[in-house]
Structure 1
Amino acid sequence: MVKELYGIREIAREELIENVFRRVQKQIQDERKETATSEIQQFVLIVDVYSLRILCSLIELNDLQQYGVSIVEQIHLKREPLPSMHAVYFLTPMETSVFRFCKESHTQYLKLHLFFTSHLSESLLLHVKTI
């Protein structure tokens, strides 16, 4: 059997889909006890400027809906609360993004899922743990 060769972009795309979008889908379905259904659960995707660039280089924004993303919001902009929806934060591990995340009202969404584009420093991790 010949393995299909993937470039870095395709590998990163699959990692994003598997480890962020599908993982969140499974968690939402498990929480709602809907593991038998294949219905896509909708959520809000919150990004910073740099993670949005990464996201756009891997997936067309129009294609995000098939993975459950109903809306993409930027963390530095004011957003309307959506207390009935889960929020997925896909951020770069920089002070500005982490501090914005920590300052937000975490009651504006039903549940939060936090992912970083790369390794989070120990000091920033400690900051996140304080909320």
Structure 2
Amino acid sequence: MSDNRWTKRATEWQSRIGKRSRRRQPLRWNDSIAKVKERLWHREAVALLFGDTVTLSNEGKFHERDFIVYSILVVVVVKVVEVVVVVVVVVEIVVVVVVVVVVVVVVVVVVVVVVVVVVLVVVISSVSY
């Protein structure tokens, strides 16, 4: 079993009619895409993230200088997120204050209109003809 006889037979391609073929299995176009994708997906992902400025070793690992760039990028992203959160909270507070002020103004206007109407009704009813 150490000579891989069974592995070779088990992985050998068989044609549709069932007899074994000694020739190489024809490759489909998506097989070559899958092979390239399996080998290069991490390089492509890093290239997209860093705009093609990161170089990887042959094993697909970061170089030390790229860890520094990555850590700076993470710090910048965290700071931007913190600023966005603060801005969102401030905007929410401003919106709440504006809504409260509008409600108070509407209530005051309604009260003034009601008082004016009541005063007019009293004045008109007190005048005798």
TM-score, structure 2 length as denominator? 0.23
Which has the larger helix fraction? 2
Structure with more relative contact order (C-alpha pairs < 8 Å, separation 6 or more) = 1
Which has the larger strand fraction? 1
